[in-house]
Amino acid sequence: MTEQFVSLLQGPLFILPLNVAAFLFGLQLYRRSGTALLHPIVGASALVAAVLWSLDIDYTDYQDASGLLYALLGPAVVALAIPLKQNLGIIRRAGWPLAVTLVVGAVLAPVVAIVIALLAGAARPVLLALAGKAVTTPIALAVADKIHAAQSLTVGIVVFSGVVAAVLGPALLRWLGIEDHRILGFALGINAHAIGTARALEISALCGAFAALAMGLCGALTALALPLLTGAGA
């Protein structure tokens, strides 16, 4: 009886509803609080971790039982092509300043973080996980898989970077005297991906469009360049 109960707890029949419930909880918490600090993933992952701990369920068992969600990540990355296509017209109007900033930003974001981590004496797994810092999570996960970085660490870093930039970024630019929503949106898209894009959409539609554009292009660029740089193909 108890054995059956344990295998039920480790199976998709319990784990998938748990994931959905935790996601809805995280979403509610985020909406009620109204702060980017509590991005839905923060509340949701804390709740799941608490349940796994209290019921003594192994993380690897939980991962196996969540296979359906992992399987949907691929199509979700493909779906990013749609907002990219819808915003591509903007780049023709603002032209090469956007292209230059995109390339510089896509390189700068991970390099600055890796240099700081190196100076602070971080271990190799940390450095690898930081490499995917500036891309939206589903792409970062695929890249992490390719360059053999720890997926969990990568997600944590991506979400945390996004929260930092989304919370402090707009105030920082106002302090620097930059009021252009195109600039704010683009910087948010490169450095805070989906979280920054959500924040940008709250500021204005123009800001949101630039953020979505920067996020999509930055993700594609990093996904193309990073595995080549780390030599994972060999």
Partner 1 sequence: MSAPRETLHWLSGAAILAACSLAGRLLSERLALPVPGSVVGMLLLLAGLLLYGGVPRGLALVSSQLLRLLALLFLPAAVGVFFLRDLDAGDWLALLAATTIGTLLSFTLCALLLKKLLSNAELRERRQGDD
Q: Under rule CB under 8 A, which residues in 84-123 are in contact with partner 1?
A: 84-86, 88, 94-98, 100-101, 104-105, 108-109, 112-117, 120-123
CA distances for 220 relative to 81, 91, 102, 199, angstroms? 10, 15, 11, 21
Cβ-based burial of 1 (10 A; exposed 0-12, middle 13-18, buried ≥19): exposed
* Nearest approach, Cβ of residue 23 and partner 1 (Å): 4
Site for partner 1, residues 55 to 74, rule: CB under 8 A: 59, 62-63, 66, 69-70, 72-74
The sign one gets for the Cα dihedral 104, 228, 214, 136 is negative
- Contact pick of 6, 38, 91, 153 for partner 1 (by CB under 8 A): 153
7 or 145: CB nearest partner 1: 145
Report the distance separating Cα 115 and Cα 183, nearest Å.
25
Q: Which one, 4 or 65, has the nearer CB to partner 1?
A: 65
4 versus 86: smaller Cβ distance to partner 1: 86
**Cα(107)–Cα(135) distance, rounded to whole angstroms?**
11
9 vs 41, beta carbon nearer partner 1? 41
Give the residue with the Cβ less far from partner 1, 4 or 152: 152
CA-wise closest residue to 40 among 65, 63, 70, 19: 19
The one among 157, 207, 209, 215 contacting partner 1 by CB under 8 A: 157
Q: Would you give the binding string for partner 1 spanning residues 23-52, x where CB under 8 A is met?
A: x--xx-----------xxx--xxx-xx--x
**Residue 52 CA: distances (Å) to CA of 11, 60, 67, 69:** 12, 11, 17, 17
Shortest Å distance, C-beta 169 to partner 1? 5
Shortest Cβ distance from residue 232 to partner 1 (Å)? Answer: 6
Q: How far apart are CA 7 and CA 37, in angstroms?
A: 36
x-marked contacts with partner 1 along 166-205 as a string, rule CB under 8 A: --xx--xx--x-x-x-xxx-xxx-xxx-x-----------
- 3-state SS, 71-124, equals HHHHHHHHHCHHHHHHHHHHHHHHCHHHHHHHHHHHHHHHHHHHHHHHHCCCCH
Residue 2 or residue 145: which is nearer to partner 1 going by CB?
145
Query: Least CB distance from residue 69 to partner 1, whole Å?
Result: 5
Q: What angle do CA 204, 205, 210 make, to 5 degrees?
A: 100
Q: Rounded to the nearest whole angstrom, what is the least distance from the CB of residue 99 to partner 1 in the complex?
A: 10
Angle at which helices 151-175 and 181-203 pack, to 10 degrees? Answer: 110
Q: In the set 9, 36, 126, 215, which binds partner 1 (CB under 8 A)? A: 126
